A and B are shown apart, each in its own frame.
Chain A
Amino acid sequence: MSDLAISCEGVWKSYRIYHQRAHTLKEKVLSRAHRYEDFWALKGIDLEVETGTTIGIIGLNGSGKSTLLKTLAMVLTPNKGRLTVKGRISPLLELGTGFHPELTGKENVFLAGSLLGQAKREVEKRYDGIVDFAGIESFMDIPVKNYSSGMYARLAFAVAISVDPEILIVDEVLAVGDEGFQMKCWERISELRAEGRTIVLVSHSLPTVRTLCSKAVWLEKGTVREVGKAADVVADYLAEVHHETAENEQAGAGSHGRRYGAGPAQITEIGVLNGDGAHTGTFRTGDPLTIRATYDIPPGLNNTICGIAVMRGENLAYVFGQNSGQAGVTLPTGVGTVDFQVPYLPLLRGHYVITVVLHDEAATKIYDCHERRHWFSVFDNPSLPIEGGMVHVTTEWRAGTSATTESPTADALHSSGTAG
């Protein structure tokens, strides 16, 4: 209990919807009947967020996600209930919070920094990094009203990701903008998560919630429909919201995945790790990736093989699959781990789901299968050319007229092609 960063107990919040709000004295006096109705956006929310958790809030439009987020950020005061927040909050509800058009870029960095709860010394320390990232060094001393919208967004974004909060509250609006921004944003969130910060985020991107969050809350009409492990909540949500399309069912897209198997060997844990061995869930094309399964194989069950399959998230297209038997590796009995290492991830941008299975040598007996229960996301790698399709293939282009085709080296163009 002592380790709760956020605790909501029966939080209610209503908005007064005025049909015509009286802003002036005349209107107040003349329209005696205040025409308004109360709209309850939150109806008794109970929620506990342990320190160090990354929690995603999902739900349909109008389910109260943003209201809950703003209530947690203490921007809105609940009508009823108790909200306890332990730690310094940095809310990122929009880009460029607190930017004043008349102030220079530099002045705005400090103003916005202090609004986001950063001490002046911290902002000073990060200032060079912010300017560097925004890439507008020569414009820092002119008012931001003279910035192009791109410059403004870059500076706002640089400030946003420079925050070093104890509790980060993020709205998905932050993730607008191009892929580079998004990747940076998720990278920063992953970094903060690895440092043990508490993160609350609202997103419509379910794969994002699935890969970034350990926990998720599903809001429905102002109440908590479900709270629990992100993968489970997202799966249940999808099952309900997207139950309509038959082909989705067939393909299993978005479905929960399942676990089956005859035992007795078991997979107790599966992790998708980056080069530093951290569970980030996000990668760039070309990054190293390791899938690590922790297993428990009873004595006597020799020649156990681990198999891994990777599929596209949206349509479950089978991208590749291998098993340890092909590499001549069988798992020793007892409790242990098996690593599937990909030194250079060839997958292009997208969300991917994996299946991990333990079976016997002939693959006739499935001991334990975690089918499509773990996800990871891949973003563009800025140092590679933009490609289409699913995988990055190293290729070479050659061109020339008939006279030169015999000795093409002079005109050889090195580039990358795609296949998918």
Chain B
Amino acid sequence: MIAGVEEVFRARELTANLVRRDLKVRHRGTFLGMLWSLTTPLLYVGLYWFIFTFIFRARDIQDATRADGTVVPFALYFFGGLVIWNVFATAVGGSTGSVIGSGYLLGKVYFPRAILPLSTVLSCVVTFGFELAVLMVATVIFAGFPDWHIVWLPLILLIVTVLSFGLALILSALTVFLRDVAHFIGVFLQLWFWGTPIIYSLSLMHDRASLYRLLQANPMTGIVVSFRNVVLLNRPPDLKLLGYDALVALVCLAVGTKVFGHWQRQFAEIV
């Protein structure tokens, strides 16, 4: 385990290059290039804002208010949730192909295989950086400056990264042996999206006990709620849920390391 971490650390330049490769390849050949990282979520927000405002006539979410009474507009509230969800969803969704997509490297050169899912996750974190910048600008314009609660942000980001990486390890290895996983995960992430309070607030489900409990069991719930609290609402994170998320993230990482470490020796022969 320690040796593995050290090995990955020694390959940090390669990891950085792979992250760069991921980011460049994703937008190479498109007119807007890196701007798509910003455009896609903005288009999503516009779409959902339009549907919920004009078609369903939804009002602003009730507890989307700051302590000083500032109401955070629904579109911003939703965008906030989407930004942190996207780190997770793109990392986990992209990880299924991270090992098989680099199959051409596996048989030719040795490097710690774990840096393949790691670089996928890290490139999603970099993209998140762009989206966060947009979110912060929008927050300042529509709701005012965030307060000191923003210091919790790195911790939340760390937890979501570890959680994503843990799952990415498991899924990337699993996909090598069973390609169905990639398709399955795409659908499953859609389901997961709706099972996470992104487009609605957790308190909305308060009076539906079983659903509420299910939502709380979802490790992304605490992350999304806490992220929105510290970035948009100037409130403290939900430490109870966040602690649970951290625990789940560590378990995923441990299982992922074990599974990946066990299976990786066969990668070069199968891919």
Query: What are 5 inter-chain pairs, A to B, with CB distance below 8 A?
Result: A70-B107, A74-B110, A75-B108, A75-B268, A100-B21
Q: How far is the CB of A145 from chain B (nearest CB, A)?
A: 10
Cβ of A161 within 8 Å of any chain B Cβ, yes or no, is no
A15 to B266, CA, bound (A): 10
Q: Does A76 contact B269, Cβ atoms closer than 8 Å?
A: yes
User: Is the Cβ of A120 less than 8 Å from the Cβ of B21?
Assistant: no
B14–A115 contact, CB under 8 A? yes
Q: Please judge, given known A-B contacts A103-B24, A114-B17, whether A91 and B109 are in contact too, CB under 8 Å.
A: yes
Distance, CA A98 to CA B178, complexed state (A): 25
Find the B residue at minimum CB distance from A113: B17
Q: How far is the CA of A316 from the CA of B180 in the complex (A)?
A: 62
The contact of B25 among A16, A100, A110, A120, by CB within 8 Å, is A100
Q: Type the 1/0 row for B157-189, where 1 means its CB is closer than 8 Å to any CB of A.
A: 000000000000000000000111000000000
How far, in Å, is B187 (CB) from chain A's closest CB? 14
Q: Are B14 and A15 in contact (CB under 8 A)?
A: no
Which B235-271 residues have a C-beta within 8 angstroms of A? 265-266, 268-269
Number of interface residues of A (CB under 8 A): 30
Contact of A93 among B17, B24, B109, B179 (CB under 8 A): B109
Known contacts A107-B24, A111-B17, A114-B17; is A102 also within 8 Å of B29 by CB?
yes
- CB of B13 within 8 A of chain A? yes
* 1/0 contact string of B12-36 vs chain A (CB within 8 Å): 0110011011001100110000000
Tell me if A107 and B20 are in contact (CB < 8 A). yes
- Of B24, B29, B108, the contact of A97 (CB 8 Å cutoff): B108
Asked whether A115 and B24 contact (CB < 8 A) given A23-B179, A24-B179, the answer is no
Known: A76-B269, A107-B24, A120-B13. Contact between A97 and B180, CB under 8 A? no
Q: Is the CB of A25 within 8 A of B268?
A: no
List A contacts of B180 (CB < 8 A). Answer: 24-25
- Which parts of A88-137 form the interface with B (CB within 8 Å)? 89, 91, 93-94, 97-98, 100, 102-103, 107, 110-111, 114-116, 119-120
Contact B265 A77 (CB under 8 A): yes
- Which residue in chain A gives the minimum CB-CB distance to B18? A111
Contacts of A89 in B (CB 8 A): 110
Q: How far is the CA of A99 from the CA of B236 in the complex (A)?
A: 47
* New A-B pairs, 19, CB < 8 Å, besides A114-B13, A115-B14, A120-B13: A24-B180, A25-B178, A73-B110, A75-B107, A75-B108, A75-B110, A75-B268, A76-B268, A89-B110, A91-B109, A91-B110, A94-B108, A97-B105, A100-B21, A102-B29, A103-B21, A114-B17, A115-B109, A115-B111
Q: How far is the CA of A91 from the CA of B106 in the complex (A)?
A: 12
Complex alpha-carbon distance, A28 and B178, angstroms: 9
Residues in chain A near residue B178, CB distance under 8 A: 23-25, 28
Contacts of B21 in A (CB 8 A): 100, 103, 107, 111
Q: Pick the contact of A103 from B25, B109, B111, B179 — CB < 8 Å?
A: B25
Distance, CA A91 to CA B110, complexed state (A): 8
Nearest CB to that of A108 among chain B residues? B21
Q: Which 3 A-B pairs have the closest CB atoms?
A: A77-B265, A74-B110, A114-B14
Chain A residue with the shortest CB-CB distance to B105? A98
Select A91's contact among B14, B17, B108, beta carbons within 8 Å. B108
- Would B29 and A16 count as touching, CB distance under 8 A? no
Is the beta-carbon distance between A93 and B13 smaller than 8 angstroms? no
Contact digits for B85-120, partner A, Cβ 8 Å, 1 yes 0 no: 000000000000000000001111111000000000
CA distance A76 to B21 in the complex (A): 25
Chain B residues near A307: list those with CB within 8 A. Answer: none
| Interface residue ranges of A176-229 to B (CB < 8 Å) | none
Encoded as 1 (CB less than 8 Å from any B CB) or 0, chain A from 1 to 32 comes to 00000000000000110000001110010000
Expressed in whole angstroms, the minimum distance between the Cβ of A259 and any Cβ of chain B is 43
User: CA separation between A94 and B106, bound complex, in Å?
Assistant: 12
Q: Is A15 a contact of B108 with CB atoms below 8 Å? A: no
Q: Which residue of B lies closest to A21 (CB)?
A: B270
- Contact A102-B25, Cβ < 8 Å, known A16-B269, A23-B179, A120-B13: yes
- Whole-angstrom CA separation of A76 from B107 in the bound complex: 8
A window 17-53: CB within 8 A of B: 23-25, 28
Q: How far is the CA of A223 from the CA of B207 in the complex (A)?
A: 72
Chain A neighbourhood of B265, CB < 8 A:
77
Q: Which residues does chain B contribute within 8 Å of A97, judged by CB atoms? A: 105, 108-109
| Pairwise interchain contact B17-A116, C-beta atoms closer than 8 A | no
For the complex, give the distance between the alpha carbons of A24 and B109 in Å. Answer: 27
Within the assembled complex, what's the spacing in Å between the Cα atoms of A70 and B269?
11
Q: How far is the CA of A91 from the CA of B109 in the complex (A)?
A: 6
In the assembly, what is the distance between CA of A102 and CA of B17, in Å?
Answer: 14
- Complex: how many Å from CA A235 to CA B25? 51
Q: Chain A 245-271 against B: per-residue CB contact (8 Å), 1 yes, 0 no?
A: 000000000000000000000000000
A286 at the A/B interface (Cβ < 8 Å)? no
**Chain B residue at minimum C-beta to C-beta distance from A111:** B17
